Amino acid sequence: MQDARDPRTESPPNRSKPRSRRLPREVRERQILDAAVQVFARHGYHEAAMDEISEVAEISKPMIYAYLGSKEELFVACIRREANRLIESISGAVDADLPPDEQLWRGLRAFFEYAQQNRASWTVLHRQASTQGPPFAAELSAWRRRALDLVTTLLSRADGTEEDRQVRHEQMQPFAAALVGAGESMVDWWIEHPEHTADALSMRLMNLVWMGFGDMVQGRRWKPD
Amino acid sequence: MQDARDPRTESPPNRSKPRSRRLPREVRERQILDAAVQVFARHGYHEAAMDEISEVAEISKPMIYAYLGSKEELFVACIRREANRLIESISGAVDADLPPDEQLWRGLRAFFEYAQQNRASWTVLHRQASTQGPPFAAELSAWRRRALDLVTTLLSRADGTEEDRQVRHEQMQPFAAALVGAGESMVDWWIEHPEHTADALSMRLMNLVWMGFGDMVQGRRWKPD
Amino acid sequence: MQDARDPRTESPPNRSKPRSRRLPREVRERQILDAAVQVFARHGYHEAAMDEISEVAEISKPMIYAYLGSKEELFVACIRREANRLIESISGAVDADLPPDEQLWRGLRAFFEYAQQNRASWTVLHRQASTQGPPFAAELSAWRRRALDLVTTLLSRADGTEEDRQVRHEQMQPFAAALVGAGESMVDWWIEHPEHTADALSMRLMNLVWMGFGDMVQGRRWKPD
Amino acid sequence: MQDARDPRTESPPNRSKPRSRRLPREVRERQILDAAVQVFARHGYHEAAMDEISEVAEISKPMIYAYLGSKEELFVACIRREANRLIESISGAVDADLPPDEQLWRGLRAFFEYAQQNRASWTVLHRQASTQGPPFAAELSAWRRRALDLVTTLLSRADGTEEDRQVRHEQMQPFAAALVGAGESMVDWWIEHPEHTADALSMRLMNLVWMGFGDMVQGRRWKPD
DNA sequence: GATGAATGAGGCTTCATTCAT
DNA sequence: TATGAATGAAGCCTCATTCAT
């Protein structure tokens, strides 16, 4: 809980390599967000210090405030960006023309792969964002809704009337929530058992939610085509 | 009528009911833990202020420190107590002599009922404890291990050799993790859709994990005996 | 600076050997003062906690307050008692009929012996009392005056008119101060070089103040008769 | 508690000159150390409040922490700086080519002059540093060793073999300790008798340690060339 | 008389945020 | 524009002191 940054032992006043200046705003913002996600993931919202973010981003604190506002706003910006990336990642992997089980399978795989390759991003979304109380509730709700929608869509057939689909969509929601939660939880477990591959994890979850234990205990398994 | 206060006689600032005093240590500790769980659940570990806990508990801060130690230790005490309560709740509901599906069903129902009746407790365990970094890692590991063990036991048949069971126990772990995560997530969803009953939620999750989507989309459902 | 007394791990509520009661006031006061001197010497005035004093004294805090008043008054009482003991110790060792050097020699020896046998007492007087600012100034002044008087008397011949003696008494004061300081300092040094005896230390100081370096560098030494 | 600030440096009551800002780090550090020495000297380590130091220094507390670390570290920094100043003061006054008595005389005079002009500094070194227990033991040891070395050197002739000098150096230590203590003590006495000059005090101590009482009572005195 | 229980007050420390250059 | 310097506000924790039994 103690970080070893001691201002007294820091670099001498005349810094030899002056921080590069006059970068376009977009680049700066990305630098900042990258650093923020990293630091928020490492320490959690509260323990994360603006000082550390500014160091990691190699941008001075006043610039951070100028570009992205308060710490709270910065965190919201992180959540929003990372949520988009994840959603796009999964959306890009599925294909509306495939049968539901195939879609689900692809979605799951995309999810596990994303979590593996963007651990910090995922940590911020899953662990940090959900624990910081009211200030981020709105942002979180939005992200959850999108995630549920996506999963619900994956789970629903595309046929039937519009009304039919609407109803099914509603009914699917708790299942979708369960699926998302199961995925999150498996990723957590994965972190402590990294010897498994993303494929293996996806397969297990697929079996759980597609076949169910009832089938599994009798030896039936789901397999990709 | 007797209470009609004469506006002319100034009552003491606020304290109508003087804080009861000289309670035995045990009672005080429970008061404190109750308050702490509530406040930690509401704001998260870091945002929770010892001041607020002491106000909610109606006990001065020094007593909190005398009885339960630092904020960190207090949080650990909360986790430990609530974990015990939940585990006992579920353990008490299952019965080793029943078939696996029936056991699972009872366990799930117990879990959802507990979560419904002890929302703060559950929030602390699920949301807060897992996000506060190293200081609580040990306590968390312990609690997770117990939870996984419990679920794994529910999911495993009791027959076969000891070795068999050991192996199955290992293989079950990711499924158990998934199941726990699914449950957690459904509870979250439930909070925003409180019109459902604990029974209904349990049933849905049961269907998901026992029958699987593959069966569900064909209209097959699991039902209790 | 951290003491390991943790109230949570203390003796169970029903203490088997009840603290003995109804002792006469004098005994209690001595217990308290003994404990206080010990604790003050160990930690210094500020770090000394009334809790620890009460534990060491085996007397509850309210009794301490009843008998000796506030922490400040308790400290004053310590100073006063220990100053008396030391002064009496030295006074008892000298004999007005002896020649000055012999008197000085005896006084020094008495002092070093006292310091050796009552380290806590001496520490409180020398180290702690002088550093605690205004609150104890009066008590300290009194003790210093007495110490100076004693030493001045040792150093002055008893002959001459009363006026003569008064004058000499005045002139002696800075020397007396120097002598006391030299003694204090040698005791400090002694603590880290405990292989020396009280006699040896006394002899060295005696040589310093009686013969002076001027003589010593030429090999002249003072010796007791 | 109201600012007992030296009238010469007192700022005008109505802060017309807003706290000067943007000073370079070096200046700030000196300001802080000056204030800290003053406050530590006045109240002692424990009674000294960071709040008061920050007020006296006219710098906000966070800057103190940023530049000099915790209260403990700040105190150590004070000790170190003041010890250096004193040692340099005395070292600068002596001259290895002079005979021992002349050297001692110069050293004493330098010491008394320093003590007169830097009372706070001296108080911190002498009274406070030695009473604050373990945390400062290392720093104190270092400073004491240097002081003893310096005095021992003053007292030792430079002739003889290296081995001789080593032995004498050892034997001199208790005398050096005594001398330092005598000096400290005379300064204390001086504070209450400020009518004497530094020269007079030095002369008295010189007589005591060089001639000894044995000579003095017979009217022999030491005099500078 | 004796004490476990209780607290007001205050100290050290940190951090998000903003000047002034 | 970009940043080192600066601080208000707040949090955790401890301790001398006193009730109420």
Q: Do B106 and B139 belong together in one domain?
A: yes
Q: Which residue of B155, B208, B217 is in closest CB contact with A100?
A: B217
Please check whether residue A13 touches D, CB under 8 A.
yes
What does pLDDT average to over chain B? 81
Query: Which D residues between 38 and 77 have a beta carbon under 7 A from any strand E atom?
Result: 48-51, 61-62, 65, 70-72
Query: Is the Cβ of B73 closer than 8 Å to some Cβ of chain C?
Result: no
- Closest residue to A208, CB basis, from B134, B175, B184: B175
Within-domain flag for B5: no
Last residue of a domain, one of B35, B52, B69: B69
Q: What number of CA atoms fall less than 13 Å from residue C44's CA on the CB side? A: 21
At A224, give phi and psi (nearest 5°). Answer: -70, 155
Report pLDDT for B94: 86
Cβ neighbours of A207 in B, within 8 Å: 212
Lowest mean pLDDT among B65-79, C8-22, C199-213, D106-120: C8-22
Q: State both tokens at B122.
A: 């559950």
Residue D98 maps to which CATH number? 1.10.357.10
CA–CA distance from A10 to each of A4, A5, D67 (Å)?
A: 11, 8, 11
To test the contact with chain B by mutation, choose from A189, A193, A205 the residue with the greatest count of B C-beta atoms within 10 A, namely A189
Smallest CA–CA separation between C32 and chain D, in Å?
Answer: 23
What's the rounded Cα separation, in Å, for the pair C214 and B15? 78
- Most D-contacting residue of C140, C144, C186, C190 (CB-CB within 10 A), to test interface: C186
Task: Name which of B71-75, C161-165, C172-176 the model is least confident about.
Answer: C161-165
List CB contacts of A51: < 8 A, sequence separation 6 or more. A5, A61
The identity of residue D76, as a single letter, is: V
Same domain membership, residue A187 and residue A83: yes
- The Cα A122–Cα B187 span in angstroms is 21
pLDDT tens sequence across B99-117: 778 888 899 899 999 988 9
* Per-residue pLDDT, B217: 66
D66 close contact with A: CB closer than 8 A: yes
* Residues present in chain A in total: 225
Residue D182 lies in a domain: yes
Say whether residue A107 is in contact with chain B using an 8 A CB cutoff.
no
**Domain region containing A42:** 21-69
For chain C residues 48-107, those near strand E by a CB cutoff of 7 A are: 59-63, 66
pLDDT above 80 (res C175):
yes
Q: Is C160 left (phi over 0), alpha (psi -120 to 50) or beta?
A: left
Residue A149 has pLDDT above 70, yes or no: yes
pLDDT computed for residue D10 by the predictor:
37
Which run of H or of E encompasses D126?
none
Which segment of B192-196, C15-19, D194-198 scores lowest on mean pLDDT? C15-19
| Two structure tokens written together for D30 | 């000196």
Of residues C184 and D3, more confidence is placed in: C184
Q: Which residue has the higher pLDDT, B208 or D39?
A: D39
Residue B3 lies in a domain: no
Mean pLDDT score, D127-155: 79
Count of other CB atoms within 10 angstroms of residue D91: 14
Alpha-helical runs (H) found in chain B: 25-43, 50-57, 61-68, 71-93, 100-117, 119-123, 137-155, 162-192, 198-206, 212-216
pLDDT at D2 (0 to 100): 39
Whether the CB-CB separation of A157 and A92 falls below 8 Å is answered with no
User: Does the structure show a pLDDT above 70 at C14?
Assistant: no
**Does A208 fall in a domain?**
yes
Q: Using the CA of A7, give the nucleotide whose C1' is nearest.
A: F4
- Flag whether pLDDT at D3 surpasses 50: no
Q: What confidence tens digit (pLDDT) does each residue in C100-124 have?
A: 788 888 998 999 999 889 988 888 8
Task: For chain A, say whether D27 makes contact (Cβ under 8 Å).
Answer: no
Instruction: Check if the beta carbon of residue B44 is closer than 8 Å to that of residue A131.
Output: yes
B85 and B158 co-located in one domain: yes
Q: What is the pLDDT of residue A217?
A: 66
Name the domain count of chain A. Answer: 2
Query: What is the residue type of A15?
Result: R
Q: Does D188 map to a domain?
A: yes
Query: Per the CB < 8 Å rule, is B69 touching C13?
Result: no
Which amino acid belongs to residue D189?
Answer: W
| B172 shares its domain with B133 | yes
Contact check, Cβ <8 Å, C131/D128: yes
Average pLDDT over residues A79-98: 88
Segment D194-223, tens digit of pLDDT: 999 999 999 888 888 888 766 766 767 777
User: Residue B160's pLDDT is what?
Assistant: 57
Asked which of A36, A69, A102 is the last residue of a domain, the reply is A69
pLDDT higher at D104 or C18: D104
Q: Which residues of C88-97 are buried (b: 16+ CB within 10 A; e: fewer)?
A: ebbeebbeee
Question: Is D9 a domain residue?
Answer: no
8 A C-beta contact, residue B181 and residue A208: no
Dist CA C197 CA B113 (whole Å) = 78
Based on the domain organization, do C45 and C115 belong to the same domain?
Answer: no
Distances (CA, A) of C201 to A92, C204, C220: 89, 5, 17
- 8 Å CB contact of D66 and A13: no
**A97-111, A159-173, B141-155, C51-65: least confident range:** A159-173
Q: Is the CB of B140 under 7 A from strand E?
A: no
- D54 neighbors D60 (Cβ within 8 angstroms): yes
A82 lies in the same domain as A191: yes
Asked if B33 and B100 sit in the same domain, the reply is no
Q: Give the pLDDT confidence score for residue D16 in this predicted structure.
A: 38
Mapping DSSP onto H, E and C, the string for C102-146 reads HHHHHHHHHHHHHHHHCHHHHHHHHHHHHHCCHHHHHHHHHHHHH
The answer on C118 and C61 residing in a single domain is no
Residue ranges in C7-136 assigned as alpha helix (H): 25-47, 50-57, 61-68, 71-93, 100-117, 119-123
Residue B145 lies in a domain: yes
Q: Highest mean pLDDT: which of A9-23, B204-218, D56-70, D189-203? A: D56-70
Burial of C36 (0-12, 13-18, 19+ CB in 10 A): buried
Q: Of B161 and C15, which is predicted with more confidence?
A: B161
**Residue D17: pLDDT above 60?**
no
What residue has its CA nearest to the C1' of E3? C60
A81-95, C9-23, D57-71, range with the lowest pLDDT: C9-23
Q: What angle do CA D163, D166, D169 make, to 5 degrees?
A: 150
Of C48, C69, C90, the one marking the end of a domain is: C69
**Structure confidence at residue C157 (pLDDT):** 58
Same domain, C46 and C112: no
Is the pLDDT confidence value at A15 over 80?
no
- Residue A156 in tokens: 């629903």
Gap from B81 CA to F20 C1', Å: 32
Query: Rounded CA gap, B83 and B86, in Å?
Result: 5
Same domain, D102 and D157: yes
CB-side neighbour CA atoms (13 Å) of C159: 4
Instruction: Please tell me whether residues C35 and C84 are part of one structural domain.
Output: no
Contact A8/D at CB under 8 A:
yes
Determine the 3-state secondary structure of C23 from DSSP. Answer: coil
- The residue with tokens 């001459």 is C160
**Helix, strand, coil in percent for chain A, rounding step 5:** 75, 0, 25
pLDDT in tens, C49-63: 999 999 999 999 999
Q: What is the 3-state secondary structure (H, E, C) of A20-68?
A: CCCCCHHHHHHHHHHHHHHHHHHHHHHHCCHHHHHHHHCCCHHHHHHHH
Q: Which residue of B has its CA nearest to C6?
A: B66
Q: Does C17 touch chain B (CB under 8 A)?
A: no
Q: Which of B149-158, C59-68, C99-108 has the lowest mean pLDDT?
A: B149-158
How much of chain B exceeds pLDDT 70, in percent? 81
Q: Does C8 contact B at CB distance below 8 Å?
A: yes
Report how far residue D55's alpha carbon sits from residue D68's, in angstroms, rounded to the nearest whole number.
16
Contact A132 B208 (CB under 8 A): no
Q: Are B67 and B29 in contact (CB under 8 A)?
A: yes
Same domain, D113 and D161: yes
- Overall average pLDDT of the C142-154 stretch: 81
Q: What is the mean pLDDT of chain D?
A: 81
Decide if A144 is inside a domain: yes
Instruction: Name the closest residue on chain A to residue B42, using Cα atoms.
Output: A133
- pLDDT beyond 50 at D58: yes
Average pLDDT over residues D11-38: 71
pLDDT band at residue B49 under the 50/70/90 scheme = very high
Is residue A105 pLDDT above 60, yes or no? yes
Kindly tell me the burial class for residue A80, based on how many C-beta atoms sit within 10 Å of its own C-beta (0-12, 13-18, 19 or more): middle
Q: Which of residues 153-212 of D touch strand E (CB under 7 A)?
A: none
Output C2 or A150, whichever has higher pLDDT.
Answer: A150
Q: Any contact of B with D, at least 3 CB pairs below 8 A?
A: no
User: What is the spatial distance between Cα C104 and Cα D183, in angstroms, rounded to a whole number?
Assistant: 20
- The distance from CA D6 to its chain's CA centroid, rounded to whole angstroms, is 20
| Protein residue at shortest CA distance from C1' of F14 | B62
* More confident position, C22 or D89: D89
